[in-house]
Structure 1
Amino acid sequence: MPHAWIGVSGWRYPSWRGDFYPKGLPQRLELTYAAERMTSIEVNGSFYSLQRPSSYAAWRAAVPADVVLAVKGGRFITHMKSLRDVETPLANFFASGVLALGAQLGPVLWQLPERLSFDRERLTRFFQLLPRSTGEAARLAAGHDDKLPEDRVLTTCDVEAPVRHALEPRHESFESDEARALCAEHGVALVVADSAGRWPVMRDATSDFRYVRLHGESELYASGYTDASLDRWAGTCRDWLDEGHDVHVYFDNDARGHAPHDAVRLVRRLGLSTSA
C-alpha cells in the first residue's frame, strides 16, 4: 500500500534549538526528537563527506523502527566528478555505512549542480552503475579503494531490499521529454523541487515513487509555507498516493527554522501516525 514519508533535510541546526527543539534538549537526542514527530528524515551530511558505518548505525538506532532515512549522495560524485568515472567513488559511498540502515534505508538522492546540463550518454552510464537492491549495493561496495580504512567499511547488509534513486537536477535542460524518458527508462524519480522559482520544478512521474524537496515558498531556504500552500501540497500527496505512488517530502527551508514546523504541519494534514 502506498505510504507518505514526510520529514526534513538534516536535523542539526542551531536555530532549531530552543524553538523546535525544547530548550536544554541534548544534541544527541535531536534526531530522535525530530523523527518521533515525522515519518522520515533525509540524511544530508553524507553529501559533504563520507560518513562512518557507526554513524549510520547510530542514526538507525536513534529513530523509531517505522521511520525511514533517505540518504543524500556525495557531492564528490555529483559536483566534483560531475558523474564521470564514478564507479569507485560510488563503491566508496555505499561502503561508507549506508547499508547499516538496513530495512530503514529510504531513497538515495542525487542532487546535481546548477551548471550541469542534461547529457544523455553521461546520465545513462551513471544510471547503469546505480545499485537497485541492497545486495547489489553490497557487491558494489566491495569494490571500494583504500581511501576508506578497513574500520570504516561495511560491505554486507542484513536485509535484501530494493534501493530507490531520485535525481534533483538544477539545469533547465532537464525540463525535456528526453530527460524524463531517460529517467523513466531507468526508474529514477525526478525530484519535484519547490525553490521560490530558482530551479525547474519537474512534476512528471518517472518512477513508482515521488520525491519532493521544499526549499522555500517565496524565499529560497528561508521562507515558510502558508496554510493554504500546505493544504495544496497535502492534496497533491493524496493524489499521488491514490495513483499508487509512495511519496517522500522533505523540507529544506531551514535557514530561519521553518522546516521542522512545516514538516509537522504536513504530517498532520495527511493524518500520518507518529511516535510522539
Structure 2
Amino acid sequence: MKRPGDVRIGISGWRYKPWRGTFYPEGLRQADELAYASTTFDTIEINGTFYSLQRPEYFAAWAAQTPAGFVFSVKGPRYLTHLRRLKEPEKPLANFLASGVLELREKLGPFLWQFPPNFKFDASRLEAFFALLPHDTDAAQAVARGHDAKLKGRSAIPTQKRRRLHHAIEIRHDSFRTPEFIELLRQYDIALVCADTVDWPRLMDVTGEFMYLRLHGSEELYASGYDDKALNAWADRVAAWASGAEPADAERVIDKPAKRRKGRDVFVYFDNDIKVRAPFDAQGLRRRVAERLGQPAGK
C-alpha cells in the first residue's frame, strides 16, 4: 500500500476571547493558550503577521512554546498584498523575511499569501512576485538581507540548515478562474488554496507539492460550522489528496487531473472562529481523515 502524505489539520490563529471556557479550560492563562492549542493540533496559522511585522523574539517564543514536530504556517503581510497590491514587492518581502520569521526554524511551514476580493488576475504582476518567493531557507536569508532601515535593531536572519520552503496563494476574485493562472502556479510550484466560503471561488486544482485548505464556513463567513455530512465530504477529499489522487468531486479550472503521485502533504485550517466552531470542527475532521487513511487519530 502506498504511504499517504502527511496531513495536518489545525486552526487559524489561537487567541480568541470566546474560546476561553469553551475550547480553553477555565482559568487557563492567556499566555498559555498557544501551548495548550499545540497539544491538541499539530499546526496553526499565524495571523498576526498579516496585520503587522512581528518581532524576532515573538517567533522564537512561539517556537519554544510548541512541541517537537509542530508546524506553523505564516500569513504574509497585507501591506504587500492588500495595500501595495504586489507593486514593487522587493523591500516589503525582504522586511517580512527579516522580521524574525526564520526564528521558527524547523517549525516554519508554508507561507500563505492572501489577495483581497477586489484584486483581479494580473499575470505579469503575479509572475514578478512569484519569481521573488524563496523556496528554501538559503534563498530566504538572501532575500531578507535586502531589508531596509525600518528593521534596524529588530531584524533576525539566523543561520540554519537548508530546508525547503513552500508557498500557497488564496484568491478571492472570479477573474482567477483561468488556466493561465493555474499554469503559472504550477510553473513556480505554488499551491492554490482551496477556500471553502460562500463568497469567493472554491477551486481544487493541484498546482504544487502539497494541498492547502482554509475552511471559512460555506454558509456564513467565519461563523458557520460543519455538520457530519460536510465533515465527511471534506474527509473524503483530504484522504484522496493525501493518497496522491484527487477527489471525485474536485472543482477545477483545468478539467484534467494533475499527475498522480505516491502521496501528497495536506494542510487544513479552520477559520470559522466567530461561533467557537473552529477547534471542534478541526478535531472532527482529523478523526474522519485518520479513519479513511487507516491511521491513529493522533492528538
- Asked whether the two chains share a fold, i.e. TM above 0.5, the reply is yes
CA contact 1:78–1:110 (8 Å) conserved in 2: yes
Query: Which is further off, 20-29 or 152-161?
Result: 152-161
Check if 1:256 corresponds to 2:275.
Answer: yes
Q: 2:111 aligns with which of 105, 108, 111?
A: 108
Residues 78-100 of structure 1 deviation map (CA, whole Å, 9 limit, x = unaligned): 00110110101000000011101
Residue by residue, what CA displacement relative to the aligned partner does 1:116-170 show, whole Å, maximum 9, x if unpaired? 10001000000001011011111111111011132x2111232211110000010
Return the alpha-carbon distance in structure 1 between the equivalents of residues 82 and 270 of structure 2.
22
The alignment status of 1:199 with 2:200, answered yes or no, reads yes
Aligned partners of 1:37 and 1:274 also within 8 Å:
no
Following the alignment from structure 1 to structure 2, what is the Cα–Cα distance between the partners of residues 204 and 49? 31
CA distance in 2, matches of 1:246, 1:217: 24
Cα contact 1:6–1:39 (8 A) shared by 2: yes
Partner of 1:218: 219
Please name the residue that 1:99 is paired with. 102
User: Aligned residue for 1:9?
Assistant: 12
Alpha-carbon displacement from aligned partner over 1:52-81 (angstroms, at most 9, x marks no partner): 111111111111111100000000000011
Kept in 2, the 8 Å contact 1:39–1:274? The answer is: no
Change (3 A) 1:274 1:70: farther
- Paired letter, 2:82: H
| Whole-Å separation in 1 of the counterparts to 2:130 and 2:202 | 21
Determine the structure 1 residue equivalent to 2:229: 228
Task: Tell me what 1:267 maps to.
Answer: 286
2:189 maps to which of 187, 205, 212: 187
Contact 1:46 1:74 in 2 (8 A): yes
> C-alpha separation between the residues in 1 aligned to 2:69 and 2:183?
33
State the 1:275 CA deviation.
Answer: 7.4
Letter in 1 for 2:102: L
Are the counterparts in 1 of residues 287 and 297 from structure 2 also a CA contact under 8 Å? no
User: How many Å separate the matches in 1 of 2:215 and 2:94?
Assistant: 29
Q: Match for 1:4: what amino acid?
A: V
CA contact (8 A) 1:38 1:267 kept: no
Contact 1:103/1:159 (CA < 8 Å) preserved in 2? no
SS at 1:129 equivalent = coil
Structure 2 unmatched ranges of 5 or more: 245-262
Q: What corresponds to 2:253 in structure 1?
A: none
CA distance in 2, matches of 1:113, 1:161: 30
RMSD between superposed Cα atoms in Å: 1.3
Select which of 52, 56, 59 maps to 1:53: 56
Amino acid at match of 1:76: Y
**Corresponding position: 1:83 with 2:86:** yes
Q: What's the CA shift for 1:273?
A: 6.0
Q: Tell me the distance in 2 between the aligned counterparts of 1:109 and 1:134.
A: 16
Identity %: 49
Alignment of 1:99-138 (within 5 A): 99-138=102-141
**Is this contact kept in 2: 1:139–1:155, CA < 8 A?**
no
Aligned to 1:193, the other structure's residue is in SS state strand
The CA deviation at 1:217 is: 2.8
What TM-score, normalized to structure 2? 0.89
Contact kept in structure 2, 1:96 and 1:148, CA below 8 Å: yes
Counterpart position of 1:156: 158
Shift of 1:270: 2.4
